[in-house]
Structure 1
Amino acid sequence: MRRAMATAEVGDDVFGEDPTTNRLQERVAELLGKDAALFVPSGTMGNQLALAVQATAGDEVIVDQESHILHYETGAPSLIARVQLRSAPLQEQPARACQVLTDLVRPEAYYYPRTRGVCIENTHNRFSGAIMPLEPVQQIGRWCAERGLFLHCDGARLWNASVATGIPPAVYAAPCTTVMVCLSKGLGAPVGSIVAGPEDLIAEARRWRKMLGGGMRQSGVLSAAGLYALDQHLERLAEDHRRAKEFAQSIVEEFELMLDPPPTNIVLFRSRRGVDTEHLLEQLASSGVLVSPGPPGWLRAVFHLDISDDDLAAAIAMLHRIHRDLCGKHSLAMNT
């Protein structure tokens, strides 16, 4: 990947003249079945551009109550697109999503915000890498189209959904007006995401990207990493899924799993013995096992191309050792 970056053919992408970036954008647009695509520095920027070009100030956008856009993008929709978010459990029971949405659409009255669109997340970060099934995605797409609403997919890990199910990314993306996919995360590029959609929206997104400081000159150096990742790292996502399942299976007696088995590469887990999550997180980190906080009370383990089978075995052994040690201290504290 670094060799591809070092030898990348470059131009000036601010003027649309970087050949490597243009190839990457065309490649991802084709993979997603969209007219056009735009390279952006981050998934957050991609999501925010999608909102900015499809909504106006004062509009309301419906999102899942555990979505990345709601929890992890620093309130950006209120500042950049100047929209408010309305959250609901869209993805916990995907088959009911359209009914939930119907109940949330604002009536036509001057004192309500205007419902302008819906955002889904596939796969779902805070729901242990859950895949939103294709049929509900298609149903939501039809529901939005019938009401003149946009549907945006935060597909940071859409590649994982595709590899896990065998369904092409373009099929998942077809019901959506716009879709964002990450080239980092599981694909392993150092930086970058793509937002894709109709030509006119992507042209406007380019303007917004410039406004937010995301226009880059010789971005082909970064785009080359994305092209390499698509060529070399896409199908190997299945290895991450396998390791996530093996990790979950190895800890299930001591830890509750949010989803068993984990559908892709994210495992959310917590102690069945009441061991404090933050204390366990700290002890693991000091022993070289890096997991992150999930939703309140949960730990989050993510598997990627830098984790080998040996790493997996070492992490499982260390987790068991530390957890059992903390369980002993927890029991002692309870009895004193």
Structure 2
Amino acid sequence: MTIMSEHWIDLRSDTVTQPSTAMRAAMQAAAVGDDVYGDDPTVNRLQEVTAEMFGFEAALFAPSGTQSNLIALMLHCGRGDEYLVGQDAHTYKYEGGGAAVLGSIQPQPIANQLDGSLALADIAAYIKPDDMHFARTRLLTLENTIGGKVLGPDYMREATRFARARGLATHLDGARICNAAVKQGISMVDAVAGFDSLSVCLSKGLGAPVGSVLCGSKDFIEQGKRWRKMLGGGMRQAGILAAAGLYALEHNVARLADDHVNAARLASGIGEIAGLTVATPQTNIFYVEVPPGACDALRATLARARIRATVGPRTRLVTHLDISAVDVERIIAVFTAFFNDWRAPQ
């Protein structure tokens, strides 16, 4: 049985959201200038608001989180330097090797713990001695959330203090840092305390169509403008895009709690299906262990029901502002109906 949906439901990522009518109106009404000259008032406002929100001196608007992270890595590390990074971290695994290819920076991957953190003992073990045979370890990078998991403020405080004591700078890939802060009920400033730089993505759970903001000291951001230009991120009348980011920060942060609730309900509903192992979500991302023999048929069934999902033996499901509580019940019904009919090959 196929349960039809009136519209497409997209569970692949929180990057798939559509700008709301109000966000589009804000974009249309945005005052603009040439941002490369520093003349775009809406971009300038977005940078000021973001820096203040997270407790940094300055900020820089970039087209993507991949670019804002790369700018940070290239500012903290020089040619032949090294950054310590989680094996599952975005800056190591999912950004095309940009640090190595474009920055001549060596990544030193470290196994993530089950909670997404990096053990301090592991960090210590991978810091290289001052010896010409080794790359110079310059930077510790962390990610929050990572795979939907939240790194708590106590751990973040310990990790940044440890890094500082060992002479390392610290960068936080905070693509979903707002999800982490909302989940913990803490301020954005507290969520990023201790880091030298921060990348915040506007186009994931916050619902903007494009853009990320890099935060740091005034000098750090001034230097970052040169790298942004070199990497092709110097945009002109970018206020049209920045207006969407401003709207997202002003209207879409607190509502992230709704995505967390929907993820919890979806995981609970799917978790009642025999034969599936479902992780308990902390925020808006969780994983379902699907029998390999069911993947192709499940993928086809979901598509017929107008549900998009990246189905595999370890299926990631992501809730966001375009998925409602009603949509969640429809998804559960489709999964349930499918596995009621499906039988594992004998």
Q: What is the TM-score normalised by the length of structure 1? A: 0.91
In the alignment, the residues of structure 2 paired with residue 201 and residue 279 of structure 1 have an alpha-carbon distance, to the nearest angstrom, of 51
The counterpart of 1:26, out of the listed 37, 44, 48, is 48
Residue 218 of structure 2: aligned partner: 199
How far apart are residue 93 of structure 1 and its match?
Answer: 4.9
Residue 118, structure 1, aligned to residue 140, structure 2:
yes
Q: How many residues align?
A: 322
Pick the aligned partner of 2:247 from 228, 249, 252.
Answer: 228
Q: Please list the CA deviations of residues 43-94 of structure 1 after superposition, one character each: whole Å capped at 9, or x if unmatched.
A: 1111101101110111111111111112211111111221111111244356
Q: 2:152 is matched with which residue: 101, 124, 133? A: 133
Q: Does 1:9 align with 2:9?
A: no
Equivalent position to 2:93, from 71, 96, 105: 71
* Structure 2 residues not aligned, in runs of 5+: 1-22
Gaps of 5+ in 1: none
Paired residues of 1:164 and 1:238 also in contact (CA < 8 A): yes
Name 1:58's counterpart in structure 2. 80
Q: Which residue of 1 aligns with 2:177?
A: 158
Partner residue, 2:209: 190
Q: 1:320 aligns with which of 321, 333, 336?
A: 336
Alignment match of 2:278 (pick from 243, 249, 257): 257
Conserved in 2, the CA contact under 8 Å of 1:281 and 1:299? no
Letter of the 1:123 partner, please give it: T
CA distance in 1, matches of 2:118, 2:64: 31
Deviation at 1:253, TM superposition (A): 3.0
CA RMSD of aligned residues (A): 1.6
Q: Is the contact made by 2:202 and 2:248 (CA closer than 8 Å) also made in structure 1?
A: yes
Q: Give the distance between the partners of 2:247 and 2:173, measured in 1 at CA.
A: 22
Q: What corresponds to 1:109 in structure 2?
A: 131
Q: State the shift of 1:323 in Å.
A: 3.1
> Is 1:100 the counterpart of 2:118 in the alignment?
no
More relative contact order in 1 or in 2 (CA 8 Å, sep 6+)?
A: 2
SS in 1 for 2:151: coil
C-alpha displacement of 1:277? 3.8
**Matched position secondary structure for 1:47:** helix
Equivalent position SS for 1:307: coil
1:26-51, Cα deviation, whole Å (9 max, x unpaired) = 00001110111000000111110110
In the alignment, the residues of structure 2 paired with residue 309 and residue 302 of structure 1 have an alpha-carbon distance, to the nearest angstrom, of 13
Residue 264 of structure 2 corresponds to residue 242 of structure 1:
no
**Counterpart secondary structure, 1:117:** strand
- Tell me: CA distance 1:274–1:143, structure 2 relative to 1, closer, same or farther (3 Å): same
For residue 292 of structure 1, what is the amino acid of its counterpart?
Answer: T
Contact 2:87–2:111 (Cα < 8 Å) also in 1 = yes
Distance 1:276 1:70 in 2: 31
